[in-house]
């Protein structure tokens, strides 16, 4: 298993996606491996979010393929998705639960970790300077702090592939620095990252491959 995790490749071959009669993106071919980050850039509405969702199997393709090693992302087998940590642009936290309860709940579904302790969650919150919000309802904290709560999963999960949609939005400069440091550590530890961003961070993260999407 360790050998497989250290020899990962996501291959995108002539991928196209439509929503209704509207083409979201067309004929994208690209590949990214361990120790690399794919940075997806482009204007609003160009399909970055849909493209990220298609890589983790949430959005189906109209044509072409996306494979993790030799396994098609859209195949009936979902075992390959156990290697992927997806954090979307929109807040997916439960506003009626506390920060701690949200993370405890999310970690319970992450097969890459087991027996997450309260101390580990507290440590991850301390990394982003938000430990004081541990027992706050999510509805009572700012959008920036909600994003930081979501991103603490980067510290709690052991998954090798990170799919991140606009992870730097709503984040202050100190938080940006901490996130970029996590990206570099993950890449240097045989990780693979695919993310969308309005900010060009290609010079801040080692082994970054930049892909620019245009409006259709």
Q: List pLDDT tens digits, range 32-47.
A: 999 999 999 999 889 9
CB proximity list for 173: less than 8 A, separation 6 or greater: none
d(CA 101, CA 105): 6
Are the C-beta atoms of residues 122 and 134 closer than 8 Å to each other? yes
Angle at 197 between CA 205 and CA 148, to 5 degrees: 80
Q: Is the C-alpha dihedral spanning 3, 7, 11, 17 positive or negative?
A: positive
Dihedral pair phi/psi, residue 23, rounded to 5°: -80, 125
Name the pLDDT band for 80 (thresholds 50, 70, 90).
low
Three-class secondary structure of residue 34 per DSSP: coil
**Helix 99-108 and helix 143-151, axial crossing angle in degrees, nearest 10:** 30
Parent domain of 62: 2-212
Q: What is residue 1's predicted lDDT score, i.e. its pLDDT? A: 42
Q: Which two tokens stand for residue 192?
A: 């693979």
Q: pLDDT at position 114, please?
A: 67
Which helix (H) or strand (E) covers residue 108, if one does? helix 99-108
Query: What is the SS3 assignment for 145?
Result: helix
Distance of CA 109 to the CA centre of its chain: 16
Q: What is the mean pLDDT of the chain?
A: 91
Q: pTM score > 0.75 for this model?
A: yes
Q: What is the CATH number of the domain that holds 139?
A: 3.40.50.300
Question: Cβ contacts of residue 177 below 8 Å, gap of 6+?
Answer: none
Counted domains in the chain: 1
């Amino acid at each position: 298993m360790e050998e497989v995790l250290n020899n990962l490749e996501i291959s995108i071959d002539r991928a196209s996606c439509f929503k209704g009669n509207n083409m979201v993106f067309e004929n994208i071919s690209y590949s990214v491996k361990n120790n690399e980050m794919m940075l997806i850039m482009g204007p609003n509405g160009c399909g970055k979010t849909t493209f990220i969702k298609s890589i983790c199997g949430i959005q189906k393709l109209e044509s072409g393929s996306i494979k993790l090693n030799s396994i098609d992302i859209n195949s009936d087998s979902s075992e390959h998705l156990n290697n992927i940590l997806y954090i979307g642009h929109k807040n997916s936290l439960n506003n009626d639960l506390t920060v701690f309860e949200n993370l405890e709940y999310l970690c319970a579904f992450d097969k890459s970790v087991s027996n997450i302790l309260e101390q580990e969650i507290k440590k991850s919150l301390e990394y982003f300077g938000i430990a004081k919000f541990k027992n706050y309802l999510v509805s009572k904290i700012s959008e920036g702090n909600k994003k930081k709560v979501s991103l603490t999963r980067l510290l709690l999960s052991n998954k090798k592939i990170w799919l991140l949609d606009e992870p730097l939005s709503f984040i202050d400069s100190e938080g940006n620095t901490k996130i970029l440091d996590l990206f570099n550590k993950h890449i240097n530890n045989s990780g693979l990252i695919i993310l969308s961003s309005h900010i060009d961070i290609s010079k801040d993260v080692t082994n970054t491959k930049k892909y620019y999407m245009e409006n259709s």
